[in-house]
């Protein structure tokens, strides 16, 4: 099932949990994906650890450092995925900074990612202008390049980004890094509604989300949410029920 | 032979590899900078501050004793005589004036040893801008006095506890802060690094070094130098020095990186010599990285060269072989530092000492009538503690 179809076919609001690949050991990766799928996750955003994660706040950065200390690499994560593809059907979206991909090789990356069943990729330090240039002549083998839209993107930029969006649009909810926030900017809900109206693909809101009321409010204004720091923290602390509860809340949102 | 960046890129290098939230700010900066460049009032104000406040122009000093010793004519471009003791202030003045022009009242910057932080805090005090400086916790401990200097100048210094807790992590944290405060804050990048237009803009503000040098050597000798040497960390003093000479094909240009304990050890900062092409802090350039694309820590006795990347324009100049890049060990830099102190009565910064050390090698291939210019990018007062520790260990 394509990423876009999976999001369109969800119950309630789409819920995409972010996990850091290799945090807690790479041997835990497939079992964690299986459990999140069983809880009702729409897709999984799988973070690749990077030494200099400038778009991330302290929780995800710390998880990345734990994974790096364990020797986790992009190549190792892909190897692990290919071994587990028969065990789950939830779409996988890789979240990786550009340099590990660049080092792997752009075409080899898309070849390998597609072979491993990866549905999409999010590269937070690759704005769409640069992606056009970098991916020119590259065969992406059906791996969607998911664009980010932020509160500082102007209307013209947003229209250009939307016109080329694949998989879904990642709508960043705040000016800042990933984390857990208590209040979103006032203009956010209107921004999300407008994006959803104009976008040819689903719109998911992410950054800062960690409470049920936030999942509900954002899930009503667009197609669903991406939740990172909260999930990473809960899994690290062994609080899986908190994750299950938040996913269940998303499924109760009326579309 | 030499061209300006096309779409923010020098060949393949440079670009804007940054989070989407910053794109608007970086594009506004690009427009504002292009306008400021053409505005005579902006240029006049910049020139006036360089002259009256920084104390430019700086001398191009004929180092008689060193010349005699090396058997060739050595000229030192005395950037160490600038206000705050290094070339860094040329850039911070330019960027702070630009921030004002853009209506931004707040400044954020990163610093390694503290020289760029002090230069930024200084200009913020002068122009009444609110100043926040990120500095790795390790560097905060190593450079206590510079932290106090910045605070004395009214800046807030925030220790960075993430990653390796040094310069690279200070840049990460400054970028994160900028993402959060992008509406009213300008990021004063300290070197020819970061997303376009920073590498070009910082080079332009620093090119006063090379422009003066070119005029001064012509005045003194009636001809251009045979060779010019500058140290390269991120590469701002070198880019400022080299840029006005790029089209003078007979002038050989040498960039000197920090080899730390040696380029064949894992403790060096020789990015162009040993690094591979990658993306860090907004720019495609040579970086020190492992096989999986993780950025590695740099090591150098000189905190100002202790960075695992190098400006995109240097990366390009290496590939087209317009500039030759070499690396000098901690040990050799230290010896060059002590030699200049003893024989010329000038204590150079450890950064600049790398350029001085390479001069010893290069001079052996030069004739007695040749002209060799070395960029003395900063003074060594900040390093006396480090030097004493290292000399004491012997």
- Across the interface, of B24, B179, B296, the residue whose CB is closest to A154 is B24
- Across the interface, of B19, B181, B289, the residue whose CB is closest to A125 is B19
H/E stretch holding A59 reads: helix A58-69
- Across the interface, of A149, A157, A176, the residue whose CB is closest to B179 is A176
pLDDT at B2: 65
Cβ distance B20 to A172 less than 8 Å, yes or no, reads yes
**pLDDT band at B113, cuts 50/70/90?**
confident
Active-site residue flag, A213:
no
Token pair 């430019």 is found at: B56
B241 contacts B255 by C-beta, under 8 angstroms: no
Q: Give how far A98 is from chain B: nearest CA, Å.
A: 7
What's the average model confidence in pLDDT over A130-149? 96
In 3-state terms, what secondary structure has residue A79?
helix
Give CA–CA dist A217/A190, Å, rounded.
11
Cβ distance A54 to B176 less than 8 Å, yes or no, reads yes
Cβ distance A54 to B25 less than 8 Å, yes or no, reads no
CA dist B276 to A45, A134, B48, B223, B286, Å? 29, 18, 41, 37, 5
Cβ distance A129 to B282 less than 8 Å, yes or no, reads no
What tens digit of pLDDT does each residue of A52-93 get? Answer: 999 999 999 999 999 999 999 999 999 999 988 899 999 999
Give CA–CA dist B99/B1, Å, rounded.
33
Per CB-CB distance under 8 Å, the chain B contacts of A57 are 176
pLDDT at B364: 97
**pLDDT band at B1, cuts 50/70/90?**
low
The fraction of chain B above a pLDDT of 90, given in percent, is 91
pLDDT at A16: 98
CB pairs under 8 A between A and B: 114
pLDDT at B392: 78
Give CA–CA dist B242/B255, Å, rounded.
9
The fraction of chain A above a pLDDT of 70, given in percent, is 99
Computed over every residue of chain B, the mean pLDDT equals 96
**pLDDT band at A200, cuts 50/70/90?**
very high
- Across the interface, of B19, B169, B293, the residue whose CB is closest to A104 is B293
Assess A154–B contact: CB distance below 8 Å, yes or no. Answer: yes
Chain A residue with Cα closest to B283 = A125
Assess A58–B contact: CB distance below 8 Å, yes or no. Answer: yes
What tens digit of pLDDT does each residue of B341-379 get? Answer: 999 999 999 999 999 999 999 999 999 999 999 999 999
Which residues of B form the catalytic set? Answer: 88, 110, 377
Cβ distance B19 to A55 less than 8 Å, yes or no, reads yes
Assess A61–B contact: CB distance below 8 Å, yes or no. Answer: yes
Per CB-CB distance under 8 Å, the chain B contacts of A149 are 20
Query: What's the Rg (C-alpha) of chain A?
Result: 17
Q: Give how far B270 is from chain A: nearest CA, Å.
A: 19
pLDDT at B241: 98
Assess B179–A contact: CB distance below 8 Å, yes or no. Answer: yes
What's the average model confidence in pLDDT over B313-336? 97
What tens digit of pLDDT does each residue of B50-104 get? Answer: 999 999 999 999 999 999 999 999 999 999 999 999 999 999 999 999 999 999 9
Cβ distance A50 to B294 less than 8 Å, yes or no, reads yes
Cβ distance B24 to A99 less than 8 Å, yes or no, reads no
pLDDT at B215 over 90: yes
pLDDT at B393 over 80: no
Per CB-CB distance under 8 Å, the chain B contacts of A50 are 293-294
Per CB-CB distance under 8 Å, the chain A contacts of B26 are none
> Which of B 18-47 lie inside 8 A of A, CB atoms?
18-25
Assess A102–B contact: CB distance below 8 Å, yes or no. Answer: yes
Computed over every residue of chain A, the mean pLDDT equals 96
In 3-state terms, what secondary structure has residue B111?
strand
pLDDT at A255: 67
pLDDT at B394 over 60: no
Active-site residue flag, A129:
no
Alpha helix (H) ranges present in chain B?
20-37, 40-49, 64-70, 88-101, 115-127, 137-142, 144-152, 167-180, 198-206, 208-221, 236-242, 271-274, 312-319, 330-344, 350-363, 384-393
Chain A residue with Cα closest to B195 = A125
Chain A residue with Cα closest to B291 = A103
């Amino acid at each position: 099932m394509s990423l876009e179809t999976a999001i369109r076919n969800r119950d309630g609001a789409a819920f995409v949990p972010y996990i850091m690949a290799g945090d807690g050991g790479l041997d835990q990766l497939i079992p964690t994906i299986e459990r999140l799928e069983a809880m009702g996750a729409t897709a999984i955003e799988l973070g690749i650890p990077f030494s200099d994660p400038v778009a991330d706040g302290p929780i995800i950065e710390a998880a990345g450092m734990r994974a790096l200390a364990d020797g986790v690499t992009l190549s190792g994560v892909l190897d692990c995925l290919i071994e587990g593809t028969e065990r789950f059907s939830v779409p996988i979206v890789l979240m990786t900074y550009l340099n590990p991909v660049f080092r792997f090789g752009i075409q080899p990356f898309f070849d390998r990612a597609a072979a491993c069943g990866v549905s999409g990729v999010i590269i937070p330090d690759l704005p769409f202008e640069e992606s056009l240039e970098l991916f020119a002549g590259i065969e992406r083998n059906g791996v969607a390049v998911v664009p980010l839209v932020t509160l500082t993107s102007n209307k013209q930029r947003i229209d250009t980004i939307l016109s080329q969006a694949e998989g879904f649009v990642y709508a960043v909810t705040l000016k800042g890094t990933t984390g857990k926030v208590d209040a979103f900017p006032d203009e956010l809900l209107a921004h999300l509604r407008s994006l959803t109206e104009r976008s040819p693909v689903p719109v998911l809101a992410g950054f800062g989300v960690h409470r049920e009321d936030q999942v509900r409010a954002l899930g009503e204004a667009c197609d669903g949410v991406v939740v990172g720091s909260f999930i990473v923290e809960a899994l690290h602390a062994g609080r899986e029920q908190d994750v299950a509860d938040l996913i269940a809340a998303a499924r109760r949102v009326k579309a | 032979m030499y061209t300006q960046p096309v779409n923010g890129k020098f060949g393949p290098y440079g670009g804007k590899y940054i989070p989407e939230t910053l794109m608007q700010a970086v594009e506004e900066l690009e427009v504002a900078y292009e306008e400021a460049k053409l505005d005579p009032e902006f240029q006049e104000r910049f020139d006036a501050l360089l002259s009256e406040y920084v104390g430019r122009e700086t001398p191009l000093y004929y180092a008689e004793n060193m010349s005699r010793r090396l058997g060739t004519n050595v000229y030192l471009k005395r950037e160490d005589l600038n206000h705050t003791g290094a070339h860094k202030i040329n850039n911070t003045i330019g960027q702070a004036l630009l921030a004002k022009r853009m209506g931004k009242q707040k400044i954020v910057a990163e610093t390694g040893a503290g020289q760029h932080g002090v230069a930024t805090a200084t200009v913020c005090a002068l122009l009444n801008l609110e100043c926040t400086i990120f500095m790795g916790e390790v560097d905060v401990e190593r450079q206590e006095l510079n932290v106090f200097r910045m605070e004395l100048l009214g800046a807030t210094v925030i220790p960075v506890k993430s990653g390796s807790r040094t310069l690279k992590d200070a840049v990460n944290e400054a970028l994160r802060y900028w993402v959060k405060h992008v509406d009213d804050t300008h990021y004063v990048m300290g070197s020819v690094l970061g997303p376009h237009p920073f590498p070009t803009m910082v080079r332009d503000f620093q090119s006063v070094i090379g422009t003066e040098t070119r005029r001064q050597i012509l005045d003194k000798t009636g001809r251009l130098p045979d060779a010019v040497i500058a140290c390269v960390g991120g590469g701002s003093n070198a880019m400022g020095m080299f840029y006005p000479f790029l089209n003078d094909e007979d002038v050989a240009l040498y960039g000197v990186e920090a080899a730390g304990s040696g380029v064949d050890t894992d403790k060096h900062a020789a990015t162009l010599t040993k690094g591979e092409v990658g993306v860090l802090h907004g720019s495609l350039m040579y970086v020190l990285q492992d096989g999986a694309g993780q950025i590695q820590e740099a090591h150098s006795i000189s905190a100002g060269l202790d960075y695992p990347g190098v400006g995109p324009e240097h990366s390009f100049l290496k590939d087209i072989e317009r500039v030759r890049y070499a690396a000098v060990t901690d040990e050799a830099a230290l010896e060059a530092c002590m030699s200049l102190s003893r024989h010329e009565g000038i204590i150079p910064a450890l950064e600049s000492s790398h350029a001085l050390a390479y001069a010893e090698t290069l001079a052996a291939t030069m004739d007695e009538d040749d002209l060799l210019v070395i960029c003395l990018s900063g003074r060594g007062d900040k390093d006396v503690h480090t030097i004493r520790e290292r000399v004491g260990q012997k």
